[in-house]
Amino acid sequence: MNKEENNASLDERNQLTGVQLFSMTTSMVMTVYGFAAFAKQGPTALFFLFLAGILWFIPVTRSAGEMASVDGWSKGGIFTWGRHMLGERLGWSALFYQWIHITVGMCTMMYFIIGCLSITFNVPVINTNPLFKFIIMMVILWGLIFAQQRGTKITGKIAQWSFTIGVIIPVFLLLFLTVVYLVKGNPMLIHITPHTILPKNWSGSVLVGFVPFILAFAGAEGSATHVKDLKKPSVYPKVMLALAICAIASDIIGTISIGATIPNAKIQLSTGIVYAYGALVQQFPWINVVFIERLIGLLLAIGIIGEISSWVVGPNAGMYEAAKEGYLPERFAKTNAYGVETNVMVLQGVIVSIMAALLTFGAGGDKSNLSFQTAMSLTVALYTLMYMLMFVTYLVLVFKRDDLNRTFRAAKSKVMRVIMGVLGLVLSAFGFIVTFFPPAAYDMHQKHTYMTLLLTAFIIVFFIPLIMYQFHKRWTVHPHDESGSDLHHPVH
């Protein structure tokens, strides 16, 4: 009886309200480092926001929520869902692509941080010289990994404060400045009409603009595993809808604020948002523009550092669980004295370092936009590959295993659930394909460099999990897993 009481007490402590789940997911999804990339698309950004924020984001969260609510599937995320429906090889591959994507995504975040710091401390060389940029990236990355080694409780609190200081405050300030700017009758550099919102043409070089919008809404499926922790699981779709609305609203604010105040040709992907603040505060003659730009640069850098610290911890927990079942060598199934997955973190750090070197030095010269765009495209290519596997998993579940007990369904109608799965799969495939088209604004040399970097990195990463799977049985820590553990079979 005492054991039952303890379990009940534990379940109660782990329960979440809708507001708490919203806060957790918001910190994973809402970011500011993509605003400049959105603004670069001009009014077409609104069309891409609709595709990614409504037609893609909602199927992602609802299908993930349904799979996470199946009995026995609440832990492990895509790893568990995939191997039950598609087999161990594809389940492991999906987990690996989800994990590896953030190792590339961290490069994008660090490029943004360095761009902000170059403004704050007035040292543009750190954002234009590849060697200086790479050194600072290594300091940020390994400094955060080192900071995690005594446990993540304090780091988690720092990440929360960083999100408030470096994301929430700047976004609301940007909204205020933009409203004042427009109310005063200042001209907008972009013209929003039904004609300008749609892409000028449907070529790959134009549609590649969809890439940063997929990245802006990616990651929400990570909170799906908490569906069963909700006091009222029925509020999950409402929470995700609220998140979609808030994310789209903040992205529109960022897009219009930058696009309306900075000429498109002068928008720098890693620094554009900082200069947008400078352009907006010029309407207040008593405010020092340079001071505001430097302050905002510092705040945004703090916010993204906090986000990276969260990503350093989060995905590694799933890889640690996979390592315990033999999907990585046994050394990665161990923790340090504080329960931290040190070896997995170091592995992640090494991969990030290699990717950072490839993207930073491979772009050559001071082409910060090219390395930033390539890192963003590679991140989306890997993540959409995982999403394609996730939606195939969901469709198999709907068609073949609709008998499995679950506490949440994406929709009451099976037809609507199929439509969501197909829509999510199609848009994920669309996002994946267009990443391999170089932006139209690039010259021939830049396009060649972009394609070479992107294809080389993607092909290498694509085959890694398939090669690693061949060593699965040799690495298995628990012998009984090989003899037919129920973890390796669908849950009935």
pLDDT tier for residue 484 given thresholds of 50, 70 and 90: very low
Task: Name the least confident of 2-16, 201-215, 326-340, 368-382.
Answer: 2-16
The pLDDT of residue 121 is 93
Q: Rounded CA gap, 254 and 244, in Å? A: 15
Decide if 42 contacts 259 (C-beta within 8 A). Answer: yes
Q: For residues 227 and 234, what is the distance between their CA atoms, to the nearest angstrom? A: 9
Q: How would DSSP label each residue in 199-232? A: -S---HHHHGGGHHHHHHHTTGGGGGGGGGGBSS
Q: Give dist(CA 435, CA 422) in Å, integer.
A: 20
Question: Which range (151-160, 165-174, 202-211, 450-459) has the least confidence?
Answer: 151-160
Express each pLDDT in 157-204 by its tens digit.
Answer: 666 677 778 878 888 888 888 888 888 888 888 888 888 898 877 877
More confident residue, 448 or 206: 448
Mean predicted confidence (pLDDT) in 342-362: 87
DSSP character for 83? H
Q: CA–CA separation, 37 vs 210, rounded Å?
A: 10
Place of tokens 């999804």: 29
Question: Which range has the top average pLDDT, 55-59, 183-187, 304-308, 468-472?
Answer: 55-59
**Token pair recorded at residue 453:** 């970097």
- Give the per-residue pLDDT at 262: 81
Mutual orientation of helices 272-281 and 169-183 as an angle, nearest 10°?
50
Enumerate the domain spans of the chain: 24-479
Q: What integer pLDDT is reported at residue 472 of this predicted model?
A: 79
The domain 24-479 is placed in CATH, from the list 3.90.1150.10, 1.20.1740.10, 3.20.20.210, 3.40.50.720, at 1.20.1740.10
The fraction of the chain above a pLDDT of 70, given in percent, is: 85
* pLDDT at residue 219, rounded to an integer: 76
CA distance 14 to 385: 32
pTM of the model as a whole:
0.78
CB crowding 329-345: b at 16 or more within 10 Å, else e = eeebbeeeeeebbbbbb
CB count within 10 Å of CB 78 equals: 29
Contact predicate 222/62, CB 8 Å: no
Cα–Cα distance list, 429 to 325, 423, 467 (Å): 30, 10, 24
Average pLDDT over residues 217-235: 71
**What pLDDT is recorded for position 101?**
82
Q: Which of 10-24, 334-348, 420-434, 454-468 has the lowest mean pLDDT?
A: 10-24
At residue 31's C-alpha, the angle toward residues 226 and 93, to 5°, is 55
* Distances in whole angstroms, Cα of residue 250 to Cα of each of 69, 125, 387, 450: 30, 31, 24, 29
CA separation for the pair 178, 250 (Å, rounded):
12
DSSP 8-class letter at 476 = -
